[in-house]
A and B are shown apart, each in its own frame.
Chain A
Amino acid sequence: MMKKLWGFLVIAVLFFTLIWVWTSKVENSLGYPEFISGGALFFIIFLLCLFNMRKRLPFLPIWSAHKWFLFHSVAGFLALSLFWLHAGVLWPKGLYVQILSLLFYGATLSGIVGLIMEKVYPNLLTRIGSEFIYERIPREIAEIRNKAENLVLECTEKTGSDTLAQHYLETLGWFFQRPRFFLNNIFGGQNSQTWVKEQCSILERFLNEAERRYLEQIFALAETKRKIDYHYSLQTMLKTWLLVHVPLAAAVMTMVVWHLIVIQVFFN
């Protein structure tokens, strides 16, 4: 993987150097270097957009998704460098170019945030030791909840005590209802673990031996649910950052096309 990454990085650096030298040469000869840097930037943005197209055409034997992702990441930074080379300033003047810049920076920033999440979250998910498919998490939660509720009913029936059931209704039921501790999970917090342990340990002293066995099973289910919650939080983030990145990228592309039209009309 590192070999591929370095390969792309070297290509990107060489490409940027080529464009930079070319624009300097054109600028020195009183030409219009913006056409060179702009053309290169448009080309790179086009390649970046191809990643989304590639996802829609999985049957095409053009690189693996992983390779595309590496390329997309490196090309994103290359596009940012070319953007600065093209604009000449960090924040240009004029509403129209400011909107274009704002969208570009938004897409780039969301891309960087997404890249960080793509690099950090999968490791965290692997470390937790279980695997859950995002689309099936509702079913998993429902199953765990059903199991927990069945255990509570069975406990009440067999032990004749409703202590566990009362506690479940008052506290644990809330936890099993749906994914919890979303914000805490995405920042790597341990609140859910603490909360589950705390709720079970509070109850433990009021239960007899038979009830404790049921509590242990419910605690095991809660632990699984906690892991599912963790998966849900992190996978949600891994999927929802694209809700920002892709629309911004689409808007950038629209503005880029408009920019090309304006340049063709007013700068022909």
Chain B
Amino acid sequence: MDDSRFSHDKSPYERPNFPYRCGRGALWRTPCFKGPKIDGSCGGTQDCEPFLSKGRWSCRREKRFGGACKEGPGPNGECSWQRPPCAPRKTLRSIRGQISFLAVAVIIALLATSQALNLDGGRFVSISDAGPLSSSHEKFTETEGCASCHSVYGKGPVGWVKAVFTQEDISVSCVSCHSFGGPDSMPHNNNFLKGQDFRKTECIMCHREHSGGRMSTKKSSAEQCNTCHKNKFESFSNGHPEYPEKYPYFNRNSIKFDHGSHLNKHFENPKFTEKAPASCIGCHQVTLSDREVRPLAFESICVDCHGSQIQKKDLVLLRLPEFMQNFIDGEALTQSCNFPDQEKSEEEFLSVSTEMPALVSTFLLNVPEDDPEIYERPLQELISAMAEESALPVEDLINSKTEIPQADKLLMGMNPEVLKRAACSWGLNLEYEPPAEAKFGGWYADMLEVRYKPTGHRDPVAKSWVEFALAASTHQEDEDNAARAIAMRDQVISEKEGVGGCVKCHAVSETKTPEGKKKLEIEWHYKDVNNRPHSKYSHSNHIEIMGKKRSCSNCHILDGKAEYMLSFKSFDSTKWSSNFKSIKRKACVQCHAESQIKHDCQTCHVYHLNPGFKKKMFSEKKQNEKFKNDV
């Protein structure tokens, strides 16, 4: 092959960036030398453009195309080498440009069409669709579509331009449905950083949508927590602070149950061995347990030993005390009690009773219990009134002591006949003789007293009296009356003498009213510990892994030295000693460590404070529409 065939005087000059190429060449024929024109028309219909000089046409064919031809131009100046025009073809470069332009045009058209058809926020397949929503968000956005969260959606180009220059926090859309126990844009929804310089939080910092299926939450790592937390550490097993001193027994139990004495003393006693549970799960409900492993009900686990003790502890409402003088109008009493007319006795009055009045009645009448000269007149007036109106005067006295009338609850089940008969007997300075022994519980009169015998656990009257006594002891302004209220309270909540012995098991704690006033409350129910909203623990998972028998004692170790019951002598629930030794971090690290069970922050900690929902997913109107559609 001749290497000089490409020299400038031998070959045509063709460039790859020409838009057209010769049509003949495209058909694998000999292409013309001149090639197509820039506009795509054939440029090779003749070999040269003859030039007129001094009245003669001369050939101008280039040397590389063979130089001047023999024939020369015609008389009219036309080239002798004429040929029919070809149809030039586009070069690859030109085609590439066209395809590129087409590709861009198709994309723009697709975007424009998609946007035009989606301005109403409908569910047409959109190429601005960033991806399917999670199943939890998919349903409620069905109607409004993207506009449910993106306020700019469907507002057209003007809205889009505005949106570019407007700061929009999408968290606003999130918190229109989601609620938290504190400010939504504060770390951990908590106020502990109030007044400090902190970074405002946004939902999308952690939660990402448009991934379909489940809501995508960023994998939480120790590094992420370390970003804000001053106490930085690598992992739970490496650097996590030791648990607090009392962990996890921060709060006093609502039910006084001395695990130490029960496990080591009572359950070992041959008298109770049969009734004693075989293990912890005999009393604690393991199934579905989460943070709390709640004990079973009193009726299931306590009643065998403690059930009969409740009925043995009565409330003494009234007691006929020793009187020095008789102020009762005998005639009126005779009439009230429908007694036959009696002759007036000339004998010196000698009280049938040598007792002191009941503390409940001294509080209700606001009289001292140890001074007959002061209490005898009001008490005798009460007895006279009771003889006439039965429970009504007592009811009035009780209601006068409370803001909200409570006599209905406190005297529930009171038989007016019994009260009247007792009052009539006492009015005549006689002991009341009941027709039969009170066995079954309820109000009854016996000799010198009107008493209430609790029917059993959860007795509503006994509960009401305990609550009444606790409330009365903190609401008296008068000093003497306050002392009497406290005396009554101490008797009512006495473990040995108090009605039903409720306080033997139920703790009494001092709390505060919303107004900030101190008050005493008896904790009737088992109390879930919810003062650690940012931590979680599932007992059931651990019990499942470690087995029901040994899993409890693995972490909860009895503290023989703890003065557990002593803690309940005070009303201050913060000062207490648990039956169990506090749990140390090393107990958890045994399993939650590197290359063992997961130990990232969110295994035990919850970011949000009391997450919930603000509004119903379906409004009433939508529900009705749905109902109509379903029908």
Contacts and interface: CB of A to CB of B under 8 A. Distances in A.
Contact of A133 (B1, B14, B21, B201): B14
A240 B211 CA distance: 38
Which secondary structure dominates chain B's binding surface?
loop
A267 B210 CA distance: 13
Given A243-B96, A248-B103, A265-B163, A93 B28 contact: no
Interface stretch (B219-227, B424-432, B570-578): B219-227
B31 A142 contact: yes
B164 A264 contact: yes
Interface string B99-115: 11111101110110000
A268 B202 CA distance: 13
Contact of B100 (A93, A143, A250): A250
A97 B31 contact: no
A255 B218 CA distance: 27
A239 interface: yes
Contacts of B212: 93
B223 A28 contact: yes
A92 interface: yes
Nearest to A244: B99
B125 A95 contact: yes
A250 B101 CA distance: 8
Given A94-B210, A224-B1, A266 B99 contact: no
Interface string A220-250: 0000100000000000000110110011101
B20 to A, nearest CB: 12
Contacts of B221: 28
Nearest to A179: B28
Interface in B15-44: 15-16, 21-22, 24-26, 28-31
B247 interface: no
A30 B11 contact: no
B294 to A, nearest CB: 37
A27 B166 CA distance: 25
Nearest to A93: B131
A31 B16 CA distance: 50
Contacts of B164: 264-265, 268
Nearest to B162: A265
A197 interface: no
A132 to B, nearest CB: 9
A138 B1 contact: no
A46 interface: no
A246 B224 contact: no
A150 interface: no
A258 interface: yes
Contacts of A258: 107, 111
A96 B127 contact: yes
Contacts of A31: 205
Given A250-B103, A265-B164, A97 B1 contact: no
Nearest to B201: A30
Nearest to A236: B92
A254 B160 contact: no
Contact of A136 (B11, B110, B128, B132): B11
A178 B131 CA distance: 51
11 contacts: A28-B221, A28-B223, A96-B130, A134-B16, A138-B26, A142-B28, A240-B92, A243-B99, A247-B103, A254-B103, A266-B130
Given A246-B99, A264-B163, 17 more contacts: A28-B223, A28-B227, A30-B205, A30-B206, A31-B205, A92-B131, A93-B132, A93-B210, A94-B132, A95-B127, A96-B130, A142-B29, A145-B28, A248-B103, A254-B108, A266-B130, A266-B152
Interface of B: 1, 6, 11-12, 14-16, 21-22, 24-26, 28-31, 91-92, 95-96, 99-104, 106-108, 110-111, 125-132, 150, 152-153, 160, 163-164, 166-168, 170, 201, 204-206, 210-212, 218, 221, 223-224, 226-227
Question: Which 10 A-B pairs give the minimum distances between C-beta atoms?
Answer: A94-B131, A138-B25, A28-B223, A93-B131, A142-B30, A247-B103, A178-B28, A251-B103, A30-B205, A250-B100
